[in-house]
């Protein structure tokens, strides 16, 4: 007797819907990861038809996250991180970067994708200082009240809040208020790092941005909003924006141009 072959790849965790694309898996495909399915790669192909540089853009986002973590852990002196929208594990995840500088830095990842929950969390929860919370990252009260978040992070001390590659999936008009609820919970000395789809408001790029928004909206991913410079600034209410490079004025900047060779580091022998 032979078994009916399953259509799902053997790596599909039990209970994961392989017929509908997900944000985490499409992003994983863009980073040439292995935790994605045909349906995710199809969405990526559609995006690539409109924006052929999509893989480079995904890497730009990821490398920004890595440089931002390095900066916060080093110059920022941050020892606790709330990484909203962890995504699937890939090379150089947040905890690996920040714990290189201090092995006891605490990281709580938050995500709600079934594949991330099914096997990504096991890979991300590598040690006693790294934890995972399943919650909706656009519901600050839910994230901040989560027992893992409360149990692992001390909100009387500075926290690095990461919302990298996530907020363009928030379609509400109250993004600034939603982010304010996170920011209000942070102690002085905290940092917020965000990366977001950008509409530079030139006729050519705005037209592309609108087309991409339509594409995302009608794809199984369901969301992908391009915001202007001022709309992105508004997502970090009350925060001082730092310069994106040694001689640059403080403002939001393209990921690739934000400290492109890495933020200035302290000399290694400095205490
Ligand atoms: N932050 C990582 C990075 O920049 O490399 C991953 C970004 S990935 C594009 C976005 C992640 O946010 C995905 O893993 C997705 O599952 C997660 N996400 C999107 N909406 C979410 C929600 N409402 N609640 C929890 N996680 C969400």
Q: Which pTM value belongs to this model?
A: 0.92
For a pLDDT cut of 90, what percent of the chain falls above it? 76
pLDDT per position as a tens digit, 77-108: 999 999 999 999 998 999 999 999 999 999 99
- Would residue 50 count as lying in a domain? no
Residue 212's nearest CA partner among 61, 48, 87, 56 is 48
Q: Is 27 part of a structural domain of the chain?
A: no
**166 CA distance to ligand 1 middle (Å):** 5
Residue 62 burial (CB count, 10 A): 21
Query: Is residue 207 in a domain?
Result: yes
User: Per-residue confidence at 168, pLDDT binned at 50, 70, 90?
Assistant: very high
Residue 90 belongs to domain with CATH number: 3.40.50.150
Q: What ipTM does the predicted assembly reach?
A: 0.99
133 DSSP β-pair partners: 110
Amino acid 15: pLDDT = 64
DSSP 193: E
pLDDT in tens, 208-258: 999 999 988 888 888 899 999 999 999 999 999 999 988 889 999 999 999
Which domain covers residue 63, as residue numbers?
Answer: 56-257
In short, whether 62's Cβ falls inside 6 Å of ligand 1 is yes
10 lies in some domain: no
* Whether residue 36 has its Cβ less than 6 Å from ligand 1: no
Task: Round to whole Å and give the CA distance between 245 and 226.
Answer: 24
How far away, in angstroms, is 171 Cα from ligand 1 center? 14
pLDDT at 4 (0 to 100)? 35
How close is the Cα of 269 to the center of ligand 1, in Å? 37
Q: Is 165 in the pocket of ligand 1 (CB under 6 A)?
A: yes
132-141 pLDDT, tens digit per residue, is 999 999 999 9
Distances (CA, A) of 263 to 71, 95, 110, 223: 6, 18, 26, 31
Q: Do the strands 80-84 and 106-111 form a parallel or antiparallel pair, or are they unpaired? A: parallel
Q: What distance in angstroms lies between residue 216's CA and the mean position of ligand 1's atoms?
A: 15
Residue 34 is assigned to a structural domain of this protein: no
Burial class (CB in 10 A: 0-12, 13-18, 19+), 239: middle
**232 contacts 178 by C-beta, under 8 angstroms:** no
- The residue whose CA has the least distance to atom 9 of ligand 1 is 165
- DSSP-derived 3-state class of residue 6: coil
What letter does residue 113 receive in the DSSP assignment? -
| 232, part of any domain | yes
Query: For the chain, what is the domain count?
Result: 1
Burial class from Cβ neighbours inside 10 Å (0-12, 13-18, 19+) for residue 225 reads buried
Please write the tens of the pLDDT for every residue from 28-86: 999 999 999 999 999 999 999 989 999 999 999 999 999 999 999 999 999 999 999 99
pLDDT of residue 30: 96
Q: Is the pLDDT of residue 8 over 50?
A: no
Please give the distance, rounded to the nearest whole angstrom, from the Cα atom of residue 66 to the centre of ligand 1. Answer: 15
231 domain residue, yes or no: yes
For residue 197, being part of any structural domain is answered with yes
For ligand 1, is residue 227 a contact (CB within 6 Å)? no
13 band by pLDDT with thresholds 50, 70 and 90: low
Q: How far apart are CA 34 and CA 214, in angstroms?
A: 27
CA angle 268, 101, 236 (to 5 degrees): 110
């Amino acid at each position: 007797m032979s078994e009916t072959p399953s259509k799902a790849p053997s790596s599909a965790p039990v209970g994961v819907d392989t017929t509908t694309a997900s944000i985490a898996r499409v992003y994983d495909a863009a980073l040439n990861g292995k935790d994605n399915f045909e349906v995710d790669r199809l969405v990526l192909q559609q995006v690539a038809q409109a924006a052929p540089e999509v893989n480079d853009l995904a890497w730009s986002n990821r490398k920004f996250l890595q440089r931002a973590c390095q900066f916060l852990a080093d110059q920022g002196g941050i020892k606790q991180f709330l990484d909203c929208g962890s995504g699937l594990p890939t090379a150089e995840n947040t905890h690996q970067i920040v714990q290189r500088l201090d092995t006891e830095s605490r990281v709580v990842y938050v995500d709600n994708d079934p594949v991330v929950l099914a096997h990504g969390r096991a890979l991300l929860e590598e040690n006693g200082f790294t934890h995972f919370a399943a919650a909706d990252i656009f519901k600050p009260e839910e994230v901040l009240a989560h027992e893992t978040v409360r149990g692992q992070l001390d909100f009387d001390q500075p926290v690095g809040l990461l919302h990298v590659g996530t907020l363009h999936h928030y379609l509400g008009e109250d993004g600034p208020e939603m982010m304010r609820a996170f920011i209000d919970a942070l102690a002085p000395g905290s940092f917020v790092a965000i990366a977001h789809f950008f509409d530079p408001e030139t006729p050519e790029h705005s037209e592309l941005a609108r087309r991409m928004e339509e594409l995302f909206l009608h794809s199984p991913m369901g969301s992908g909003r391009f915001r202007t410079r001022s709309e992105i600034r508004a997502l970090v209410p009350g925060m001082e924006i730092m310069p994106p490079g040694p001689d640059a004025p403080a403002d939001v900047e393209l990921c690739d141009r934000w400290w492109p060779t890495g933020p200035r580091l302290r000399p290694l022998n400095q205490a």
